[in-house]
Amino acid sequence: MKVLYLTSSSFSGSTLLAFLLNAHPEIITVSEMIGWQYDQDEDFECSCGKTLPDCPFFQNIAAAFRKNGLPFDFRQFGTGYSLVGSETLNRYLTECLPRIRNSSLERARDALVMAVPPFAKTLKRQDLANRSFISAALEYSHSSVFVDASKDPHRMRHLSRVKDFDLQVLYLVRDPRGVSRSTMKTRKWDATRAIEWWIRDQQNILRISTEFSSVLPVYYEDLCDSVNDTLARIHNFVDLQPEPFCGDFMAAEHHILGNSMRLTGQSNIQKNERWREELSQADIDTITGTLNDFTANNPQHALSAIIKHYLN
């Protein structure tokens, strides 16, 4: 099964790209495939307009899970890699080690975790859940490529363990000033914290991406400004015949989870550059200064080339 994993920071345009990719007849995606922890009494809707229990696509996924002896919860699919109830401890067991960003140590940690029988059993069940979900989605849609836009780079390391998956990586990048503006607004952070978080996130993505032989970087701004050329690059990357954007990405059947744009009725590309008006000059100077400091101190780092793409 061919799986294209979309990794990026939050607020980088992954939901938009998911809609655009899903418009190709050979591609299926739900964007983020972990599930959505909505309230029990909430009528949480799929982008098709139906609640998840009433959506034929997700009914098909639930049936596939039952067939494979797996439980299925419409709020939490069982496809996330989680070993314990504590979010912090689980992150240390399956994602980043505390204050350490080292791939060799993380892989050693992963080997130790797999040597613990209860943990190994849980991870194998989660591998089966992901295989069941993706296989059912491809069969339902008669597609040949599944796009997982869950973004977290550590997740793609787990998926690479599933032998049936032919995994390729798409790295989506957006102007760090735009990401910082969205982060500051949503998480109530200041500019320093927002840009330092973005830098750490890119470092993790770039570090883990080196473990994969097939990685395609894509800039959000190129997607908006040259949509057909950018889509053609992605389609060719996964060995599909390029399909131009029809002008209305809502024209295709879609079952997208993710941010609120899935329900707004927006059907065309609207490039978001609100940071130009909404960030103060002091915040722009803070962000730019932090980015310039990084490139000065790390001239050979792959992230420095990305930063220069935006600042030069």
User: Residue 167 pairs with which residues in a beta bridge?
Assistant: 3
Closest CA to 83 of 98, 94, 99, 97: 94
Cα pseudo-dihedral 232, 237, 241, 247, rounded to 10: -30
Taken in order 119, 125, 126, 127, the sign of the CA dihedral is: positive
Q: What is the pTM assigned to this prediction?
A: 0.95
Q: What is the pLDDT of residue 247?
A: 86
Contact 129/79 with Cβ under 8 angstroms? Answer: yes
C-alpha to C-alpha distances, 199 to 34, 106, 230, 304, 311, nearest whole angstrom:
25, 20, 24, 10, 14
Q: What is the pLDDT along the chain (312 residues), one digit of tens a residue?
A: 999 999 999 999 999 999 999 999 999 999 999 887 777 777 888 989 899 999 999 999 999 999 999 999 998 899 999 999 999 999 999 999 888 889 999 999 999 999 999 999 999 999 999 999 999 999 999 999 999 999 999 999 999 999 999 999 999 999 999 999 999 999 999 999 999 999 999 999 999 999 999 999 999 999 999 999 999 999 999 999 999 998 887 778 899 987 666 555 667 798 999 999 999 999 999 999 999 999 999 999 999 999 999 998
Q: What is the pLDDT of residue 98?
A: 83
